Structure 1
Amino acid sequence: MKTIKKIGKWMGYALVSILLICLALYGYIYWNIEQRLNKVYPTATPAITIPSDSASIARGEHLFVVHGCKDCHGTDLKGRYITDETLIGKVAAQNITKGKGGLPVDYTDQDWLRVLKHGVNREGKTLIIMPANETTKLADNDLADIIAYCKSRPPKDNELDKNPELGPVLKALIAFDKLELLPAEHIDHQLNPIAEKKAEVSVEYGAYLTTNCAACHRTNFQGGPPLAPGAPEVPNITSSGRVGKWSETEFMQTLRTGTTPDGHKIDSTQMPWPRTREFSDVELKAVREFLLSLPKAETLVAK
């Protein structure tokens, strides 16, 4: 009987200890998130001229697609919920038209630049999920055309929650730096702007175009382990991988059809080939030139 009481007593101690650890962990996560979400970043950005001619707007639409803006904000720019699940949270890609629920009437070109170059809102606080750590590296002429296109779109009504609701999973991922969900933290806010990038078949332009590819394929483009549980390994896309075995025609056909030369169908949820199919011939050739210029790996990280 005494033994049972002792076991019960120690189990009680264990449960209390676990509860205290959980409370301490929650307290740390809450404090960590609040500190980071409320940090104010510098947003002094030189003004750029936003064009209004049809050619610039058309090019802006092209860039809006190939840089993945359409994937979140939609073809009509009225936005959508990126996630709306209890454990993960409720986060929206906002309506960026002037319709109901969209941008305020006094939204300026400087506000656009604040988002695209610094990843922050008007208060200078970081946005969530918005990949500004990629758009900050775009040349001013490209940013100007993207903004011109967005401003030219007709108003669309779509009221979404403007304040993200973070679930426990997102909070933990942010607190322990498992995903780069707060873009302002990963931006050099003093970065000298690139005035212009000319579209040409060159290694330099290919490197410029593949900025957002590094998020999955790693900075050396040699791929690696899955990015999430249950996802496939990320392939090596340098000359050491399959890309090195493909001809220019095969490379371009793969990125436009989602089918590799050996007949493999690429899952568009893992590799966004519906986006890369919109690349021009010059852009695809430049990307290939860059990938083939990278150092070969001694062993393949992923096949």
Structure 2
Amino acid sequence: MKASSKLSTLVDDTPLPPIHAATDPQAIARGEHIFKNICYDCHVQDSSNHAAGGTMPDLPKPFGNITSANLTGHPTAGIKDVPDEKIARAVRFGVARDGRRLVVMPPFKMSDEDLSAVIGFIRSNDPLFTPDERPQPTPQTTPLGKFALGMGLAPVPNWPASGIQAPPKGPTVEYGSYLANDVYVCSECHTPGHDGDKARGPDAFKGGFKFFDTPQGGIYSTNITFHEKALGAYTLPEFGRALRDGITRDGFALRAPMIRVRGLDDVDAEALYKYLQSVPKSDATLPDDAAPRVKAAPQSEKPEVLFVQLGCALCHGEGAKYRAMLKQSRGKSSEEVAKWIRNPEKILPGTQMPTYEQLLDEPQAVSLASWVQQQAANIP
């Protein structure tokens, strides 16, 4: 997270990057991959599947009401008439169209080419950007939020407005560093605290950042260094599966807000693997109040228990932002819904749903699907 020491401070002297939306189909596809893996979770906050922004429940509630921007093609509520250069400035420097620092938008030092690709996808006709008239209010921070977001966070970064290039794509530490720090910004979530420079500090990648509380305990980011207490035992295939499908080497489902990097190719996976092997190892473990990580239970386990154990409730439980998506199960057979639960990536490539095939057998999935359909019938 980034912000200025005074959240209301204008930073109009931040340069506008001379970067425009890509139009090449291959570049737009690259932009789609980046947006859906990095931007989607903040800018899609309900079941409309529109990047219309909204309140961000993953941030600590004592901070106040923190909202993300409407990125749809609406002319006033969205960004239809916002110049490409201002969108580029928001991504690269965390500066809003009116010249103020964005409260929680981290600056991305991604290459000019990747930034152009992201803007190209935002300007595309993808349904995510269907004009949506809902304006998003200015974030309302509490005194605690202003202190946490204002005291320790870095100023506008001093990297150039343009001319940033990525290292050559390859299974190298250098390219993995670019992906981890400048594209996927893994260290932002996997480093404790709110200091704007934390990603470059000694605690980077050791985990322990608290997202929110659940009845089972707090949801924290995990240690992703290659210490024996963290990722030390992971093979490259296991590491790739965790990123793509959301399943750890030990058979646990990775819970929200951890992303699924669907479409991650083998070169990128190996580059990230080698880079994380190169960072200082940490023996940090999750705090005592962390919610337990639970594998799928035996077939006799009740579906409502599986719904919680597998992390489904974090996205689809009562009051969760994707609760209404359960309505899509109405009118379908339980077997059809079970196929979606076990292998959603085969039905909707790029989905952030974990792949539960290795955690749930078909009878378990059908039982869970039937229970979900019962819940869906009661959703207005």
TM-score (normalised: structure 1) = 0.72
Please give the per-residue CA displacement for 1:191-216, whole angstroms capped at 9, x wherever unaligned: 46453224321101111111211113
The answer as to whether partners of 1:43 and 1:189 remain within 8 angstroms in 2 is no
Deviations 1:55-88 (A, max 9, x none): 111111011123x111122354333332599965
Instruction: Please give the residue correspondences for 1:1-303 in structure 2 after superposition, counting only pairs within 5 Å.
Output: 35-66=6-37, 68-74=38-44, 76-83=50-57, 89-99=64-74, 101-103=76-78, 105-131=80-106, 133=107, 135=108, 137-153=109-125, 156-168=130-142, 171-177=143-149, 185-191=154-160, 193-197=162-166, 198-211=168-181, 212-218=185-191, 219=199, 220-227=203-210, 230-232=217-219, 234-241=221-228, 242-269=230-257, 271-272=258-259, 274=260, 276-297=261-282, 300-302=283-285
1:35–1:85 CA distance, 2 compared to 1 (3 A): closer
Shift of 1:148: 0.7
State how far apart, in whole Å, the 1-side matches of 2:159 and 2:253 are: 42
d(CA) in 2 for partners of 1:103, 1:232: 32
Aligned in 2, Cα 1:116/1:99: closer, same or farther, shift over 3 Å?
Answer: same
Tell whether the 8 Å contact from 1:73 to 1:94 is kept in structure 2 after alignment: yes
Asked if structure 2 preserves the Cα contact closer than 8 Å seen for 1:78 and 1:156, the reply is no
Secondary structure of the structure 2 residue equivalent to 1:245? coil
Which has a greater percent of helix?
1
In 2, the alpha carbon distance for the partners of 1:86 and 1:291 equals: 31
Q: Gaps spanning 5+ residues in structure 1: where?
A: 1-32
Q: Which amino acid aligns with 1:293?
A: S
User: Counterpart in 2 of 1:29?
Assistant: none
Quote the RMSD (CA, aligned, Å): 3.2
TM-score under structure 2 normalisation? 0.59
The 3 A distance-change label for structure 1 pair 113 and 130 is: same
Q: Which amino acid aligns with 1:94?
A: A
> 2: distance between equivalents of 1:149 and 1:118?
19
Specify whether residues 34 and 55 from structure 1 end up closer, same or farther in structure 2 by C-alpha distance, changes over 3 A only.
closer
Provide the rounded CA distance (Å) in 2 between the counterparts of 1:119 and 1:233: 25
Question: Please, which runs of 5 or more residues in structure 2 have no aligned partner?
Answer: 192-198, 287-380
Which structure is larger by alpha-carbon Rg, 1 or 2?
Answer: 1
Tell me the distance in 1 between the aligned counterparts of 2:164 and 2:273: 24
Q: 1:112·1:147 contact (CA, 8 Å) conserved in 2?
A: yes
Tell me the matched-pair count.
257
For the Cα contact (< 8 Å) 1:92–1:161, is it kept in 2? no
2:189–2:221 contact (8 Å) kept in structure 1: yes
Larger deviation: 237-246 or 139-148?
A: 237-246
